[in-house]
Amino acid sequence: MQILVTGGCGFIGSNFIRYFLKTYPEDSVINVDKLTYAGNLENVADVSGSARYHFIRGDIADAPRMEELINKGVDAIVNFAAESHVDRSIEEPGAFMKTNVFGTFALLEAVRKVFPKQRIRFIHISTDEVYGSLGETGAFTEESPLSPNSPYSASKSAADMLVRAYRHTYGLPAILTRCSNNYGPYQFPEKLIALMISNAIEDKELPIYGDGMHVRDWIHVEDHCRALDVVLRHGKEGEIYNIGGRSEKPNLVVAQTILERLGKPHSLIRFVTDRPGHDRRYAIDFSKIERELGWGPSISFEEGIGRTVEWFLTHQEWWKKIKTGEYLNYYKRIYENR
């Protein structure tokens, strides 16, 4: 099998490429990535010399380029490419519309133009944030209505609807996945866990929005990659699969856990003004993928956070290069203004 991975130089995409090439020694990957601020060739440096891996710098919103790539005989597309951070979507919503909506549209159109002569399986990676916010109880199922509350989640919801429409209208072999919050190696240090770990290592303050009691379900990226592999190989076309980690934690508890792992004082935590429209709680019901495809998370939060802390300790050169310049100034401005 030859797959086209979009956004494969980002956090989840690069982990998936590494997992896929290791798991299937006869298969190959074409990785197309625009290399925006969160796309990093160092994330895939360990596979770049493989004859089964080919990197192409490109924008998924570039329709002619996507058609050209699809005509290279790919069997499946796994679409990770997305602008993905809520804070940035509040500051720069236009970039999210272009990549997440028009980019997905360009990919779907490219697949449609070769269908049904080529039957390319299209796996679209979405997020639990499209469902909106929960109260203190309950969990999102695949039937939960979409209720996005940020420009980021609205753009992902629009992309999901495009995938659904192309499946319904044209019969494209498309599948949607919606996952809870990921963490693990090579995560860009704007996301909560990566930011908390890297700041704590440097004895810097850990900024926590509001009262710190916003709850997220956490999944180690390796478990997510395994779930996507199962969906790619055995998922039913036209279906949606929720993917979760069974690890609901308030952000404050996550920060405290990281500090304790590193032997750092809780006094490093600094509460900052909450961001606009901050969803209070996400929880994911992933019983469907457990029941129908036999997948479930295997890495507990305790094990996963320990592995992640160790990775950031041993890869400081990687993230310290990132936490300078544009990135550092951007987040300094955001936290100081709220």
Q: Which of 128, 190, 222, 229 is catalytic?
A: 128
Q: Is the peptide bond before 297 cis (omega within 30 degrees of 0)?
A: no
DSSP letters, 173-225, are: -EEEEEE-EEE-TT--TTSHHHHHHHHHHTT--EEEETTS--EEEEEEHHHHH
For residues 34 and 61, give the distance between their C-alpha atoms in angstroms, rounded to a whole number. Answer: 10
Please say if 152 is a catalytic residue: yes
Q: Which of 152, 186, 241, 282 is catalytic?
A: 152
Tokens of 114: 């070769």
For residues 105 and 77, give the distance between their C-alpha atoms in angstroms, rounded to a whole number. Answer: 13
Q: Which is nearest to 189 in space by CA: 37, 14, 7?
A: 37
Q: Which of 87, 129, 160, 279 is catalytic?
A: 129
Tokens of 54: 């080919």
For residues 85 and 81, give the distance between their C-alpha atoms in angstroms, rounded to a whole number. Answer: 13
Which residues are part of the catalytic machinery?
128-129, 152
